[in-house]
Amino acid sequence: MKKTLLTAAAALVCAGLGAQNRPNLLTVDAAAEGIPIQKTMYGQFFEDINFAADGGLYAEKVMNRSFEYDNNLQGWKTFGKVRLMDDGPFKNNPHYVRISYSGHPVRKTGLENGGIFGMGVEAGKEYRFSVWARTSGKAKKERVTVMLCNPTADIDPQSFCTETLVVDSPEWKKYELTLVPGMTDPKASLRIILNPEDSSSSLDLEHISLFPAETFNNDDNGLRKDIAEVLAEMKPGILRFPGGCIVEGATLDTRYQWKKTVGPVENRPINENRWIYDQGNRMFPDYYQSGGLGFYEYFRFAEEVGAEPLPVLSCGIACQFENDMSIPGNMVPLDELQPYIDDALDLIEFANGSVKSKWGKVRAEMGHPAPFNLKYLAVGNENWTMEYVNRLAAFKKAINKKYPEIKIVGSSGPFASGEWFDELWPEMRKLGVDLVDEHFYSWEGFYENNADRYDNYPRNGSKVFAGEYACHGSDGKKYNHFNAALVEAAFMTGFERNADVVYMTSYAPLLSHVEGWQWRPDLIWFDNLNVMRSCSYYVQKIYSTNKGTRSVPLTMDGRPVANKEGQHQLCASSVIDDVTGEIIIKIANLSNYSQEINLNIKGAAELMSCQLTTLHSDNPVAENTIEDPYQVVPVESTIDLTRKATEENSLGMRKASDGSPILTDRIGPRTFAMYKFSTR
């Protein structure tokens, strides 16, 4: 929404008018050399939590498509004569179903899949059904009816779509057809019914899949377009994946193993999701990782959105939160760590190696002969104790030796302060890791009072990756309310001011299915058909798409503006974009009152125009929802820089005694505002 900001009436320029008497004089030194802002500064952390992958970003609609969940028929309803078989064509996924004539012409045989919380389908859109099949009776051909339906609603199947698939070989083959539903339904099911040729009729079905024909960038085995587009809008500088705790696994054997997630999807083995049993009331015993969204797809997505890929690998320790490390099996002995280290070396080869190398060849065969240009690798997620440090040291030695150009990210444990944190940071420095990953899920007060967190960090050595953070409400309402987003915005001014220390940041978690979450707040919520951007999303996007190229000093009374005494609950930062010539000032007003602010920009070329973006709600606990997604959204307006401020209390432009311009404006109570001045 665009509107023109009304400023107070003014007529004359009055040089130096009462600047020192006005409150909140924020001085930007635009002539300063400043600190380069890393391209990686604002990124995304993707973890398969809250059904973010299968049932979320990964566009596949069928649950348990290869019949490999612990309960092989989980997600499926069968009727008639259906048998589970285990000698299928794909080594890592040997199960499939045999559907046969029921013994009576009236009785049907078939199966039905309800998707993950239902299948969202839209009227008139194309869906690609595929299946590996073979005839297993005497008939040369078998026919199946493939349909979309909603067995729980009173809807005539005619309203959806019904097609016939002919299977014409006793050898395994992939068959495809297109389904175009006549209606939109968030909770459709896929039904397959055998139309027997004769009494010997029998058909084998494996890897039953349903994808929207349209995916992000129309990739095969692609991503849900609407969710991926919302991610892409943020223009992330990094993409950290695949976790989080799922990297570690609840047990070592269920840790994330990237090699199992590349190659043909039909042969990628499933893995139990670390979040399957997390909380009693939010546990989902059907939460598995199909591996369909695997490392190739992550690299490709990072490339498509222009982010640096940042894979995280297991360091050989199962989730430390869940496990007793003294129990054998939860930690790989140091002298048995080599296979884990090899996984890291092989991953670098997979990403960057020549097509003639073993793993580079795999990448090329998957469709990407060009390297992915991997630059960063994280070893361990939330690990701590010297056992972690020793394992990381072994990884680092091997990686540095073979790939000295790869930058290594180490962990500072699960909390961003305290005993573990204090022990780990010096160890990380000693090891010389390039970045240290900090995690902080804290209450409002932490974010309000710590915008200066990084002001006194050492300027040399390992840099900070604020890899997981989000404001969790102190009132127990841990959603994505406006106030949480506001205090995050205030805290983030400290990232920008300290861009020589903070090189990467990412909010967490990123995605959540409204019916399948284990953890909240989350940045982006979705159901089977819709995506919702939280208030925090807008803060992240404003920062990420306006990060500039260098951070320049912004001070009030000679001090950084970080909600300190006498600073009227303001936090602020300023950056310059040398490509566009813009000067960008971000201010969070944490007070409950509207305040005058005076932006004095020194050393800049002439200010040509100013775009104002604000994020505000009168209700601190207002939140966007799937049903009402635009309750709190950024509002854009243009500030008329030709208006002159002439009186002590008027708004508009005037000049400081040195002739530099001052914009006087008012910032509303509990408001995040961004002023973007163009100089060209």
- Which residues are at the interface with ligand AHR (CB under 6 A)? 47, 49, 243-245, 381-382, 414, 439, 468, 508-509, 519
Pair 516, 3: CB distance under 8 Å:
no
Tell me how many helices (H) and strands (E) the chain has. Answer: 10, 38
Q: Cβ closer to ligand AHR: 47 or 444? A: 47
Query: Per-residue b/e over 467-482, b at no fewer than 16 CB within 10 Å?
Result: bbbbbbbeeeebbbbb
How far is it, in rounded angstroms, from Cα 502 to Cα 485? 20
Residue 113 neighbours by CB distance under 10 Å: 21
Q: Cβ 197 to ligand AHR, closest distance in Å?
A: 51
* Residue 140 structure tokens: 């040369």
Q: Cβ 381 to ligand AHR, closest distance in Å?
A: 5
Q: Cβ closer to ligand AHR: 50 or 113? A: 50
Q: Cβ 526 to ligand AHR, closest distance in Å?
A: 17
Of 612, 560, 550, nearest in space to 581 by CA: 550
How far is it, in rounded angstroms, from Cα 59 to Cα 293? 9
* Residue 267 structure tokens: 């042969």
Q: Cβ 519 to ligand AHR, closest distance in Å?
A: 5
Cβ burial, residue 267 (10 Å; 0-12/13-18/19+): middle
Residue 93 neighbours by CB distance under 10 Å: 23
Q: Cβ closer to ligand AHR: 508 or 588? A: 508
457 Cα distance to chain centroid: 27
Task: Give 3-state DSSP helix, strand, coil % of the chain, rounded to 5.
Answer: 20, 30, 50
Report DSSP state, residue 542: H
Q: Cβ closer to ligand AHR: 203 or 246? A: 246
Q: Give the torsion through C-alpha atoms of 396, 397, 402, 403, to 10 deg.
A: 30
Q: Cβ closer to ligand AHR: 509 or 652? A: 509
Q: Cβ 506 to ligand AHR, closest distance in Å?
A: 10
Q: Cβ 411 to ligand AHR, closest distance in Å?
A: 9
* Residue 9 CB contacts under 8 Å (≥ 6 apart), including other chains: 650
E strand segments, 472-594: 502-507, 511-513, 524-526, 531-533, 550-552, 554-556, 559-560, 570-577, 582-589
Pair 39, 234: CB distance under 8 Å:
no
Pair 173, 70: CB distance under 8 Å:
no
Active site residue 382: yes
* Residue 106 structure tokens: 């009236």
Cα-flanking dihedrals φ and ψ of residue 648, to 5°? -55, -40
Query: Residue 622 half-sphere exposure, CB side, CA atoms within 13 Å?
Result: 16
Q: Cβ 520 to ligand AHR, closest distance in Å?
A: 10
Q: Cβ 49 to ligand AHR, closest distance in Å?
A: 6
Q: Cβ closer to ligand AHR: 209 or 512? A: 512
45 Cα distance to chain centroid: 5
Q: Cβ closer to ligand AHR: 382 or 427? A: 382
Of 619, 646, 641, nearest in space to 632 by CA: 619
CA distances from 64 to 112, 213, 272, 511 (A): 12, 20, 12, 21
Of 497, 612, 599, 591, nearest in space to 556 by CA: 599
* Residue 600 structure tokens: 């004095």
Q: Cβ 509 to ligand AHR, closest distance in Å?
A: 4
Do the strands 582-589 and 554-556 form a parallel or antiparallel pair, or are they unpaired?
A: unpaired
Q: Cβ closer to ligand AHR: 47 or 308? A: 47
How far is it, in rounded angstroms, from Cα 425 to Cα 376? 19
Residue at shortest CB range from ligand AHR: 244
Q: Cβ 259 to ligand AHR, closest distance in Å?
A: 21
Q: Cβ 300 to ligand AHR, closest distance in Å?
A: 23
Query: Which candidate in 68, 206, 266, 382 is catalytic?
Result: 382
Active site residues: 382
